[in-house]
Amino acid sequence: MQSVPPSSLFPQHVIARKRDGHTLTTAEIGAFVRGATDGSWADYQLSAMLMAVFLRGMDSAETAALTDAMMRSGVIADLSSVALPKVDKHSTGGVGDKLSLPLAPMVAACGVAVPMISGRGLGHTGGTLDKLESIPGFRVGLSMEEYRRQMERVGVALIGQTRELAPADKKLYSLRDVTATVECIPLICASILSKKLAEGIDSLVLDVKFGRGAFMREKARARELARAMVDVAVRVGKPTRALLTNMDRPLGRAVGNAVEVAETLECLQGRGPADVMELTYQLGIQMLLLAGVETDPIAARARLERSVGSGAALAKFAQIIEAQGGDPRVVDDPGLLPQAPAQELVLSPESGYITDVEPMAVALSALRLGAGRIRAEDGIDPSVGIDRLCQTGERVERGQPIARILAKDTDSARRERESLLSAFSFGTAAPAPVALVDEVLC
């Protein structure tokens, strides 16, 4: 028989307290999270509570209590058998953001364990898991025991959230999505950090993006989220740093799934786009510093660059692929990745400098091609997308290719040509360069 909670913890009591602007106790927050996990709160009660939090907010102590309760709603991975320091990275995402793929093997090749649990994309392209699954045979659905063994053996694992990890988050996120309560900083903090902290990590680096291609366009709002996540993570005992990064332009030259894996391979050979390489190094530096394997940013960067120059980072990626059932031959032959049946070049209509590439216009082209999903249950086509994307500041000549569309058929490719062209603006002078990293918060 289900035990009856004290009257002060009845759903309607807790909801009313937050509705009226009170600070909730740890017990009240715990009752809410248990209700989401064991079904003792009805969906309408959980939804009412989410809206109350959305409207009234939570202070840092409440947010930390919510994060801790959600983290403990399931299993916390035991990686005590992994002797290396364990650091992960989380990004709020953006157009062309494939940084987890080169970053994880690069950092792991430097002697830091990287337990990385990622998600799927809902939007213009797939998420990290979808990109990885474009590698033939790659398995992201490892059990917790497989995850632990791979961390011991390889020092890095790139997997999806298991049913055991933070189950309260899965329930609450599904309700946030349909109750217009997604954009709430305490709920975002708890959702992200409950999963990350349940991985068994020692510390965490966050890539919080702002700009036209970001989840949060306004820098001040993104900074508020970054500050909140750092404070909450530190409060629950996990040293954390956040990089506030510019997402006003697409990252790199590829947007899609298989094409972003191909660009990852270029990065791990030191030939990737300058912006992707630079931001990967900046995130990696913070991971090495938090892990304690380096104490100086210059030395940390040199160590990361050596991992690339020596081939160790690329070899580590091949090891990850093989360990998770994928075909490691893609490392040497990207042609083994899914190939789109149709291609269409987008040509520059004039000579001059590219003064802007509007990230969401590129993103929507990728989505219409089939690289992303509108609903969680939608499938994606791993082969389609956009590559050879010219970047802001480049000089081009009239008739020069500025992007390549990869599509399922010729008609789809041709239909997208004009839409993708509209993402580009041209001028007679190069625009001023923009710093990728705006601030580091710790």
The catalytically annotated residue of 169, 207, 248, 275 is 169
Known active-site residue 307? no
Q: Is residue 14 scored above 80 in pLDDT? A: yes
Q: Is 387 helix (H, G, I), strand (E, B) or coil?
A: strand
The catalytically annotated residue of 131, 176, 223, 373 is 176
Over residues 165-216, the pLDDT tens digits come to 899 998 998 899 789 898 899 999 999 999 999 989 999 999 999 999 888 8
The catalytically annotated residue of 73, 134, 191, 383 is 191
Q: How confident is the model at residue 42 (pLDDT cuts 50, 70, 90)?
A: very high
Over residues 340-371, the pLDDT tens digits come to 999 999 999 999 999 999 999 999 999 999 99
List the single range of 93-97, 154-158, 278-282, 383-387 with lowest mean pLDDT. 93-97
CB 373 within 8 A of CB 121: yes
Domains, in order of start, for the chain? 7-57 (1.20.970.10), 87-334 (3.40.1030.10), 338-427 (3.90.1170.30)
Known active-site residue 90? yes
Q: Is residue 376 scored above 80 in pLDDT? A: no
Average pLDDT over residues 217-221: 94
Give Cβ neighbours of residue 344 (< 8 Å, ≥ 6 apart).
Answer: 404, 405, 407, 410, 413, 414, 416, 417
CB 112 within 8 A of CB 288: yes
| Tally of helices (H runs) and strands (E runs) in the chain | 16, 13
Average pLDDT over residues 301-320: 98
Known active-site residue 195? yes
Alpha helices per DSSP H over 236-296: 258-268, 274-291
Using a cut of 0.85, tell me whether the model's pTM lies above it.
yes
Half-sphere exposure of 156 (CA within 13 A, CB side): 28
Say what the pLDDT of residue 122 is: 55
* Reduced 3-state DSSP string for 302-367: HHHHHHHHCCHHHHHHHHHHHHCCCCHHHHCCHHHCCCCCEEEEEECCCCEEEEEECHHHHHHHHH
Instruction: Report phi then psi at 80, rounded to 5.
Output: -65, -20
Reference 131, options 141, 122, 123, 120; nearest CA is 120
Say what the pLDDT of residue 406 is: 98
Distance of CA 218 to the CA centre of its chain: 18
Say what the pLDDT of residue 71 is: 94
The catalytically annotated residue of 98, 120, 131, 195 is 195
Over residues 43-92, the pLDDT tens digits come to 999 999 999 999 999 999 999 999 999 999 999 999 999 999 999 999 99
Q: Is residue 117 scored above 90 in pLDDT? A: no
Q: Token digits for 279?
A: 């931001």
Q: Is residue 135 scored above 60 in pLDDT? A: yes
Average pLDDT over residues 240-269: 97
Say what the pLDDT of residue 161 is: 78
The catalytically annotated residue of 89, 90, 209, 303 is 90
Give Cβ neighbours of residue 296 (< 8 Å, ≥ 6 apart).
Answer: none
Q: How confident is the model at residue 124 (pLDDT cuts 50, 70, 90)?
A: low
Q: How confident is the model at residue 378 (pLDDT cuts 50, 70, 90)?
A: confident
Sheet holding 437-441, edge to edge: 87-91, 203-210, 240-246, 437-441
Over residues 388-427, the pLDDT tens digits come to 999 999 999 999 999 999 999 999 999 999 999 999 999 9
Q: Residue 6: how many CB atoms within 10 A of its CB?
A: 9
Average pLDDT over residues 237-256: 96
In this structure, the dihedral spanned by the alpha carbons of residues 425, 420, 126 and 381, taken in order and rounded to 10 degrees, is -160
Whole-angstrom distance, CA of residue 109 vs CA of residue 376: 34
Q: How confident is the model at residue 1 (pLDDT cuts 50, 70, 90)?
A: very low
Q: Is residue 292 scored above 70 in pLDDT? A: yes
Say what the pLDDT of residue 183 is: 86
The segment with the largest mean pLDDT, out of 23-32, 120-129, 173-182, 366-375, is 23-32
Give per-residue burial for 384-409: e unless 16+ CB within 10 Å, then b.
Answer: bbbbbbbbbbeebeeeeebbbbbbee
Residue position matching structure tokens 């011991």: 152
Rounded to the nearest integer, the mean pLDDT of the chain is 93
Say what the pLDDT of residue 48 is: 97
Distance of CA 68 to the CA centre of its chain: 21
